[in-house]
Chains A and B, each alone.
Chain A
């Protein structure tokens, strides 16, 4: 039997609707999803385990996704370089440059384009073995 090589993806999103939705569609792409519902628990989970990719909503309680992204990027080793796909409904009307300056590799606006998201997930998990 061939062993399925799962990619570990951390999904930071406070809505369980979007969490479950991403779980279902990313399972299809051989991703194993870990959920985090606020910015602080993203950091906690990220410190404890290794992930191939983070999908981060910016609108998170306790600590915003933007802040969590900055904290991860400030880690000065390999861990600080994990690919991050930022997602936002952009409640505060921030310019897109804010998200890239914080350190996301890609940025997507809600409503989500699922085909595009899957494409990005494939792109960023392809080389991770």
Chain B
């Protein structure tokens, strides 16, 4: 098997949370019907204030911002978002029916990541958003902002939706709490096995962490443990100075966010 190909995650994270900001009911409903699928969670705000309110609890991947809205327009709303959340891990796209909204200033200068002109073409729009999102995720992964995860990246939407068919919200939380306590114990053991260089035990623990986190849709932990498991198997040497702190940081990121994310469902 090609070593490099195997090092890539098996699939990109398809999960995404999208916030639609538009004062027009029909536009919001239209965008919802265009974007809705099993990997997507959609939030709709009918004005800028409501959008800001959503962002107190949610970290979406993409914000679709209408420009002409009463009281607070899209420019002002974006400014307030940037002011409040300086390192927000979301892409913000302007969606407008008026190409001259921006005058001679480019949308990029005003802080938007892309501009879409209405009318939105249903079949193209979804692919365009997906492409921009995957490109952004690649950039994030290769930069040093490794821990700027959106909600949908930390716990995959599809997994939550699937589990919610069989478990109540309370039960779902318990399942993830089990994962937290079992994994925090496993990480302690992992640390001591790293110290004593016990490769078999390290691999066994990584394998369990990988299986558990993947089954719960916790992709950053699943993908990283898979990568480390693969690298150790192939080289039989361990770069514990790199692996362990990163795994601990990913786990800490998960721990500080999962209750909030699950309670939103």
Contact = CB atoms under 8 A, between A and B. Distances in A.
Interface of A: 14-18, 20-21, 24-25, 28, 59, 89, 91, 110-115, 118
A111 B214 contact: yes
Contact of A118 (B166, B175, B182, B229): B166
5 tightest A-B contacts by CB?
Answer: A111-B214, A25-B166, A89-B211, A110-B211, A111-B215
A110 B226 CA distance: 12
Contacts of B175: 17, 20-21, 24
A16 B222 contact: no
Interface string B199-221: 00001100110111011110000
14 contacts: A16-B182, A20-B175, A21-B163, A21-B215, A24-B166, A24-B171, A25-B163, A28-B166, A59-B211, A110-B215, A112-B215, A114-B163, A114-B165, A115-B165
Interface of B: 159, 162-163, 165-167, 171, 174-175, 178-179, 182-183, 203-204, 207-208, 210-212, 214-217, 222, 229
A115 B158 CA distance: 12
B207 A59 contact: yes
Contacts of B167: 24-25, 28
A92 to B, nearest CB: 10
A57 to B, nearest CB: 8
Given A59-B207, A111-B217, A15 B212 contact: yes
A80 B179 CA distance: 34
A115 to B, nearest CB: 6
Contacts of B203: 91
Given A59-B207, A89-B214, 6 more contacts: A17-B216, A20-B174, A20-B178, A21-B175, A111-B217, A113-B162
Contact of B211 (A16, A24, A28, A111): A111
Contact of A114 (B166, B171, B179): B166
Contacts of B178: 16-17, 20-21
Contacts of A114: 162-163, 165-166
A61 to B, nearest CB: 9
Nearest to B210: A89
B166 A17 contact: no
A10 to B, nearest CB: 19
Contacts of A25: 163, 166-167
A113 B76 CA distance: 43
Contacts of A110: 210-211, 214-215
A71 to B, nearest CB: 22
Contacts of A20: 174-175, 178
A111 B214 CA distance: 5
A15 B175 CA distance: 12
Nearest to B1: A93
A15 B214 CA distance: 13
B222 A111 contact: yes
Best-surrounded residue of A111, A112, A114, A118 (most CB of chain B within 10 A)? A111
A21 B216 CA distance: 9
A89 B207 contact: yes
A1 B215 CA distance: 37
A14 B210 CA distance: 14
A64 to B, nearest CB: 12
